[in-house]
């Protein structure tokens, strides 16, 4: 199938189950909400080596937050609820409580699974903490040097999906990068998903396992590396393609990932010089979720 002269390969992105928490961070200014969010989601690109996958979902204005201040929603994702709670405590305690003017609210108040993260963080107050309420939400007020840090008692979590993806092929590195950037920008407008890699874009790509180095969990996906196209049997790089970028998408459910993939692909194929869109999968061996590109375009 072709759209705007761009080949859309008849394949699917393979994704897998993951546990996801959604957190709202507010601050006196958008700048400080963003700084705290970036710190809290750091070292969160891939569970291949990172303790969690994490990223910014979206920014919201003062009219959309419980305390009437600018805010940003983040997602933190791990394979199990126990490890997810651990990551919430560490990341919110070390990266948000320490950031100027911030407060933390439950981004999934209706979720069945709730962690009492705020209750546990209150012990930083060393007995001087107190209970309060913001917009009907139970909060803990923890005295700190700048004033008080407010954190909601509970943070919710759901069983979500990780690994939705698509690849962008371009006639130059800058063509492919521009297409990836506009795809990320399109996804940022949506609710329920994150693109956890740097700036939302995967430059490296990878495959599970190895060809030569048995100690590696994941290695270069040589069939998608343009610089060695002539050296690789079964290369997936067509003539004239100089760079490939991947977008990986995590989300709270299948619908959220489908919408994000569709928006991203539509934005990417509008960039001149993009020749092909495909996706990564392992023939259904990696995870139970399959997002077929032909159903999204």
- Mapping DSSP onto H, E and C, the string for 175-233 reads HHHHHHHHHHHHHHCCCCEECCCHHHCECCCCEECCCCCCCCCEECCHHHCHHHHHHCC
Domain at 197, CATH number:
3.30.70.520
Tens of pLDDT along 27-59? 999 999 999 999 999 999 999 999 999 999 999
- Give the per-residue pLDDT at 9: 97
In a shared domain, residues 194 and 137 = no
200 and 231 fall within a common domain: yes
Number of domains composing the chain:
2
Indicate if 144 and 55 belong to the same structural domain. yes
- Domain edge (last residue) among 158, 183, 208: 158
User: Do 172 and 291 fall into the same domain?
Assistant: yes
For residues 81 and 60, membership in a common domain is answered with: yes
The per-residue pLDDT for 297 is: 86
Tell me how far apart the alpha carbons of residues 293 and 12 are, in angstroms, rounded to a whole number.
6
Residues 171 and 266 grouped into a single domain: yes
Interval 169-204: pLDDT, tens: 999 999 999 999 999 999 998 999 999 999 999 999
Give yes or no: residues 9 and 81 share one domain: no
Q: Are residues 194 and 114 in the same domain?
A: no
Residue 7: domain span: 2-14+160-295
Residue after which a domain boundary falls, among 133, 158, 183: 158
């Amino acid at each position: 199938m072709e759209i705007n002269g761009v080949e859309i390969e008849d394949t699917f992105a393979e994704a897998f189950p993951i546990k996801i928490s959604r957190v709202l961070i507010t601050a006196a200014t958008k700048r400080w909400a963003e700084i705290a969010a970036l710190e809290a989601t750091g070292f969160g690109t891939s569970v291949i080596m990172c303790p969690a996958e994490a990223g910014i979902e979206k920014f919201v204005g003062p009219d959309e937050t419980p305390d009437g201040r600018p805010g940003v929603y983040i997602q933190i994702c791990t394979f199990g609820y126990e490890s997810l709670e651990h990551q919430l405590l560490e990341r919110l305690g070390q990266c948000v409580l320490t950031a100027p003017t911030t407060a933390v609210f439950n981004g999934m108040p209706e979720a069945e699974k709730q962690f009492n993260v705020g209750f546990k963080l209150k012990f930083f107050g060393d007995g001087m903490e107190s209970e309060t309420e913001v917009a009907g939400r139970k909060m803990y007020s923890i005295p700190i040097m700048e004033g008080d840090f407010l954190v909601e008692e509970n943070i919710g979590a759901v069983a979500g999906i990780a690994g939705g993806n698509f690849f962008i092929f371009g006639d130059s590195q800058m063509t492919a990068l521009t297409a990836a950037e506009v795809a990320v920008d399109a996804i940022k407008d949506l609710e329920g998903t994150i693109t956890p890699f740097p700036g939302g874009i995967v430059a490296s790509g990878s495959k599970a396992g190895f060809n030569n180095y048995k100690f590696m969990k994941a290695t270069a996906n040589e069939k998608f590396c343009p610089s060695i196209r002539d050296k690789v049997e079964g290369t997936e790089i067509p003539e004239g393609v100089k760079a490939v970028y991947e977008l990986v998408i995590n989300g709270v459910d299948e619908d959220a990932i489908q919408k994000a993939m569709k928006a991203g692909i539509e934005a990417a194929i509008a960039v001149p010089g993009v020749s092909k869109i495909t996706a990564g999968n392992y023939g259904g061996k990696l995870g139970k979720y399959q997002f077929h590109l032909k159903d999204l375009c």
